[in-house]
Chain A
Amino acid sequence: MNGFDITGWGMAVPERKVTSVELAERFGVDENWIVSRCGIRERRAVGPGQTTASLAVEAGRRALEKAGLTGGDIAHLIVATATPEQPSPATSAFVHHDLGIAGGAHDVNSECAGFIYALVSAMALIAIDPRPILLIGSDTHTLTANPADRDLSILVGDGAGAVVLQPGPENRVKAWNLGADGSCTGSLKVLAGGSRMPTTEETVRQGLHYAKINGNEIYLNAVRYTVRTVRETLESAKVDAADIDHVIPHQANIRIINSILSHTGLRQEALITNLERYGNTASASVPIALTEALDEGRIKNGDKVLLAGFGAGMTWGSILMEWGGVRK
């Protein structure tokens, strides 16, 4: 099996900040209530002209620049998103055009676990076709949250993160694990707009085009399934949780993240989180945190880096990599 290196990375977030102070005023609660509940002080929200694809293009362009490549060098583009540019065609089609990608393109929708799923897909693709792949996670959940829905509005933010994979001699991935439980489709859902419930005036009137969250169910399942996937990946790699240098979990809620750490034995010092500044950016949360950590020089060659995520559905996954091969 061919290996790969992550040779480029980049991120894009909207300029507009939505602070917890602002949301506290809107919902008639205390800022500290919001922060203690989820650990988020501010999140970014798209403005006019900004979309899932435009953020993806910005992040993708930065990742290509970092890798020293152009769109013409990319054999395949994968965009992970649960908030597509429009129902059809795929978001990757818009990104493909704007970045001048030479090869194919497709979307992955595994909700907030989308980047992990897409990375495993990319890993398999590069094994059978060893050419560069651009992988982007991009979401704009502030547009799917009902502005009157406190539970969701305090959590979500918009953004995109991207990585470039290039074939390499080493197998950097030590183990990975993906899973799903389709009995949990009610935990976080957008009911209208699909084949099961096409959009009508009535669905819009009832606000069924907005996302709805069952926070308690999400909490339990997120902890349960992320703990499971982390344990299975570590067992498969025969690596002890205490030996992980960096863990980048899906940035959903600091309470969920802390619970996952305490139940898996992952070290608090290994945690990379930017939840406080960006909120839950769904498919973008892991690549944004990875980009910031790499730009800050926190991740060094040889470090054991664990990426883990969960999403609505439920979906979950984790990948353990031994970092290396960063090219100049």
Chain B
Amino acid sequence: MTLPTIEELASQLEAVSGAQEVSPDAPLQHIADVDSLDLMEWLYGFQNQYPDIPADESLFADLDDTTTLRHVYERILALVPQPAQA
């Protein structure tokens, strides 16, 4: 499974929200034009693209004004199923 880079995730969120720029290190709540429904719309697309990664709305459950896309990306990486050891 090839995971998207954080830059690709940022581009996807820009496309969904219409935000001019989504910096991976900017607090999500401070990015103009990005609101919680944009995050859900982005998540819906991610779930369809990566059905094996159990990402759901809990990714954003404790979103506060310090949470960045990089934090979310780290949470996603932690959800990636590990290959079974021989």
Residues of A whose CB lies within 8 Å of any CB of B are: 36-37, 215-217, 219-220, 223-224, 253, 255, 259, 263
Contacts and interface: CB of A to CB of B under 8 A. Distances in A.
A223 B39 CA distance: 13
Interface stretch (B4-12, B23-31, B40-48, B76-84): B40-48
A224 B35 contact: no
B40 A216 contact: yes
Interface of B: 35-37, 39-41, 43-44, 47, 56-57, 60
A216 B44 contact: no
Instruction: Say whether chain B's binding surface is mostly helix, strand, loop, or mixed.
Output: helix
A263 B57 CA distance: 19
Contacts of B35: 36-37
A113 B73 CA distance: 35
Contacts of A255: 37, 41
A70 B62 CA distance: 56
Contact of B43 (A36, A215, A220): A220
A24 to B, nearest CB: 16
Contacts of A253: 37
Most buried by B among A215, A219, A223, A255: A219
B44 A224 contact: yes
Nearest to A223: B44
B9 to A, nearest CB: 17
18 contacts: A36-B35, A37-B35, A37-B37, A215-B36, A216-B36, A216-B37, A216-B39, A216-B40, A217-B57, A220-B40, A220-B56, A220-B57, A223-B40, A223-B41, A224-B47, A253-B37, A255-B37, A263-B44
B41 A259 contact: yes
